[in-house]
Amino acid sequence: MSTEINHDNLTEKERKSMARRAGLASLVGTTIEWYDFFLFGTMAALVFPQLFFPGADPVAGLLQSFAALFVGFAARPLGAAFFGYFGDRIGRKATLVTTLLLMGIASTLIGLLPSYETWGVAATILLVFFRFCQGFGAGGEWGGSVVLSVEWSSKGKRGLMGSMTQVASPIALLLSSAVVSATIFLTGDNFHVWGWRIPFLISIILVIIGFIIRRGVEDSPSFKKMQKEDRLSKQPVRDVFRRYPKTLFLVILAGLAQGVPFYVFTTFAISYGSGQLQLESQFLTNTLMVVSIVEIAVIFYAAHLSDKYNRKSIFYVGALITVLMAFPFFWLFDTKVAGLVVLAMSLAIIGAGTVYGPLAALIAECFPAELRYSGTSLGYQLSAAIQGISPMLCVYLLDTFNSTAPISIYLVVASLIAIVAVVNLKKAKYMDAEDVAS
């Protein structure tokens, strides 16, 4: 357990040490939460249609499975509002510890859940409920993690520090893909019977590790200062909607340039590759690991460039890369040639990664300190709820038009909308003066 520290008396060395600790806590904690969140997406594509939605034709079963996946996205704005309130009222740290525990418990229970064959519709209902809990926890995780790391950083490092939360996403995708791939290899034909449970049960170990790390982090100096001066908002969620409705709307649209391509090029690509193209599941999960490594490097470099040059410019470059890759991705993927499939997914993720690098700091800088947890969380998670329809929408478009062209158009439109939104985003007043960690 950490002891209370006096932020006013911290030396420069101590501030930098706390900033590094906050960055590590953001990286590890968010990685664990996204591991659980992405794991559900992979299983929704590979095994849940047969285990929890039997009796339907393959397309209907996949749509039902992705609908359960979407429940997590729909819950994220609710979690953002709930945890945003407490994050801006009682502190970032305590709230983040709670979101971590909620996610871990829900994921572990999914791993213990009997299938439809054993419990009938009750199993399906519980699966959807646990997915809701996952989304509720994730809704408060991202914003709090970003705010904690950005508020501990100096002005010239906000992009890089914010990317500690961002890079957790591909690391989690890498980790979940590696665990699923190893489980498929070790359990063979039993993967669809009981092997799929192993990755979910592993999450309880990861949660314990994350809990220990997060307990050692202090709330940021800016939050402590607001608390000391009694400047905390009494109704932060209400105040975000009342004082920053335009900013909130623009942040929601800005997030489309990352979330839409990410879920099309990962979650949908898995189901499309295994279902339509008859590619091996293990090959696809292995490819996701390669994609994750590429995205990690891109996120860090893009965040660094956003500190050195301009966050908006880096964002525009990423969105335009997605526009350029929207059609070539499927042209390469449809060849079913292993090397070209890997190339398609690796090139396509560069756009989303370039957007994601500066996105955390870009959003956090739009809201004042007293509303930052709520504003950042709500904007990002409301956008995520929209993004969450992507796998379902892609399945529908493919089944309706028997072509991937409408999916490519969807990617282009989402990216262009996001660019227009970011052009109109403004940094919060006094944000540059709030250089609390320098």
Q: What is the pLDDT of residues 203-259, one digit of tens each?
A: 888 888 888 888 777 777 777 888 788 888 889 989 999 999 999 999 999 999 999
Whether 88 maps to a domain, the answer reads yes
Is the pLDDT higher at 57 or at 225? 225
pLDDT value, residue 2: 44
The verdict on residue 432 lying in a domain is no
The predicted structure's pLDDT at residue 297 = 94
Q: What is the mean pLDDT of residues 199-205?
A: 90
- Decide which of 138 and 335 is more confident: 335
**Which position has the token pair 């960690």?**
437
Q: What is the pLDDT of residues 288-305, one digit of tens each?
A: 889 989 999 999 999 999
331 domain residue, yes or no: yes
* Residue ranges making up the domain that contains 79: 11-423
Between CA 67 and CA 76, with CA 73 as vertex, the angle to 5 degrees is 150
Whichever domain contains 38, its CATH number is 1.20.1250.20
Compute the average pLDDT of residues 164-173: 83
- Is residue 53 domain-resident? yes
Give the mean model confidence (pLDDT) for residues 350-361.
93
In a domain? residue 430: no
Number of compact structural domains in the chain: 1
Work out the pLDDT band at 338, boundaries 50, 70, 90. Answer: very high
Mean pLDDT over the full length of the chain: 86
pLDDT of residue 408 exceeding 50, the answer is yes
Q: How much of the chain, in percent, has pLDDT values that exceed 90?
A: 36
Res. 11 pLDDT band, cuts 50 70 90? low
**Residue 151: inside a domain, yes or no?**
yes
pLDDT at 417: 97
pLDDT of amino acid 428? 65
- Greater confidence, 249 or 437? 249
Is residue 67 a part of any domain in this protein?
A: yes
Q: What is the pTM of this model?
A: 0.79
